[in-house]
Structure 1
């Protein structure tokens, strides 16, 4: 890897890469690494970035990622954004991924990792629908291959900057999510998704923080409130009239603002806050709306998603 003139962080101006012989290679390309579970939508995510003008390389051996960054710098700005798809098809090279990421970090290359996730049931259905084996199942079943892949990718998932759960997403919805995160020349310092959910439908697998609202009385048991959702003034008023509700909102909003400041310092651009109640219709929806408003007022670009509000 060529030497850098000075370190850089998210939001700062790109620095030039300088070769060992003193040659100025040009500005550092922006780098995104796309990985995740087979069948979770890596190809769709890569195609979306390609449509947005990124130079996309599929199934690149991880050891060649630093070389790809050098080549992008040598283009003198013609290749300003590079997306690399890394997956288990290159598992013979996969052990070198951590070394490559460490090399990039040591030379102050700004990189982001996007991890595509999906539930076992969703992945099995997708493989069965196309009648193809999982690349790691060998002589076993599809679920065996999925389990092996999860184990292989566990650390990478933990280090990812953005995790997208595609279990319930179609191709168009996944593209919309990618566009929301990558469209625009001037990206905000931090984007947050506040997602309400119902515990009885399971935790969102892409949550960075989980907020439990089940300590509040449930409007479901109030007959006149049951048909409504947490977006209505009646339900929201009931929720925030309960003891501890406003205090909880105030303190958790302060905590998230503290966390957001740390994310900015560390260059993390995306966060998902999951707010749960029993069914995901009343308490979590009302709390999500208020929490998102607090984050937005604090300068965090915030999107609200109500995952389970429409379920019976």
Structure 2
């Protein structure tokens, strides 16, 4: 139990080696889970107790546990049953056909964890299936990844474990000044230097694009509204595509000479416009605002 009396949420991710545990761990981390990989089963209970004392700091734990734990893995079932008395525990088991698993191990050119000297990859898979049988039968969710690529698997995890109403894409709308360099983390960059610079208007020079007078001035210039409306229309299928491809974060950058007027005004306007798009959460960042 947590300090406020609610049950700690715990997700145990296990299953066949090569079935996509790393992909699932990454997808859960994007959804806000605290993910621990290759955790010995005996460490799960102390971790849950620590998280319970931490309260909101670690609300959801996802532990990736598999046969790499060796003999320790055999105690996983007992550990899970004990945890269910105090925490909300779900077990996700990742499955795949022998052919799919063999193909994946051959592609990465790594041996199976249970593949002994002189054994084949398939020998290791057979041994792992036998060791995993009891956990598989008691799992809450079984996902067959045989015909899924990493994007499709991540999508399935997001659809299964995302909180209702949670955004699928975090968008940062950024302004910057070209004279300070183009941001290296921008996914899309738009150049606002085709518009007249408010810097050369004495009354507007000390203001920024966050001021209504500057914003009105920028958007009133020839081509500004046309550019903005067309840019938004072009962005809508891009942002929808990002969500389909499980891209969780995107940065859209607007640049002008100094990053104070035109780029700021456009960034603020775009953030306001796309904030209501489905599955999108928006924040703004004005990288060079305040520089001389």
TM-score range, shorter chain: 0.5 to 0.7
TM-score relative to the length of structure 2: 0.54
Structure 1 position 28, deviation (Å): 3.2
Give runs of aligned pairs for residues 99-114 of structure 1, distance below 5 A. 99-105=78-84, 107-114=85-92
Higher relative contact order (CA 8 A, sep 6+): 2
Equivalent in the alignment of 2:10:
31
- CA positional deviation for 1:149: 0.2
Gaps of 5+ in 1: 1-15, 18-23, 188-312
Aligned residues: 165
The Cα offsets for residues 32-75 of structure 1, whole Å up to 9 and x where unpaired, read as 00000000000000110001110000011101111111010111
Correspondence 1:91 to 2:52: no
Q: Residue 147 of structure 1: CA displacement?
A: 0.1
Q: State the match for 1:166 in structure 2.
A: 145
Find the aligned partners of 2:95 and 2:31 in 1 and give their Cα distance.
Answer: 22
| Alignment partner of 1:80 is 2:80 | no
Deviation at 1:185, TM superposition (A): 4.0
Q: Map 1:92-241 to 2 at 5 A.
A: 92-105=71-84, 107-139=85-117, 140-185=119-164
2:61 counterpart SS class: strand
Question: Matches of 2:40 and 2:19 in 1, distance apart?
Answer: 20
- Looking at structure 2, the residues matched to 53 and 60 of structure 1 have their Cα atoms a distance apart, in angstroms, of 19
TM-score, normalised by the number of residues in structure 1: 0.51
SS in 1 for 2:32: coil
* Aligned Cα root-mean-square deviation (Å): 1.7
Give me the whole-angstrom Cα distance separating, in 2, the residues matched to 1:37 and 1:25. 36
Partner of 1:195: none
Shift of residue 124, structure 1, vs aligned partner: 0.4
**Other structure's SS at 1:84 match:** strand
Structure of greater Rg = 2
The residue matched to 2:87 in structure 1 has which SS? Answer: coil
Secondary structure of 1:53's match?
Answer: coil
* Superposed CA offset, 1:239-286 (max 9, x none): xxxxxxxxxxxxxxxxxxxxxxxxxxxxxxxxxxxxxxxxxxxxxxxx
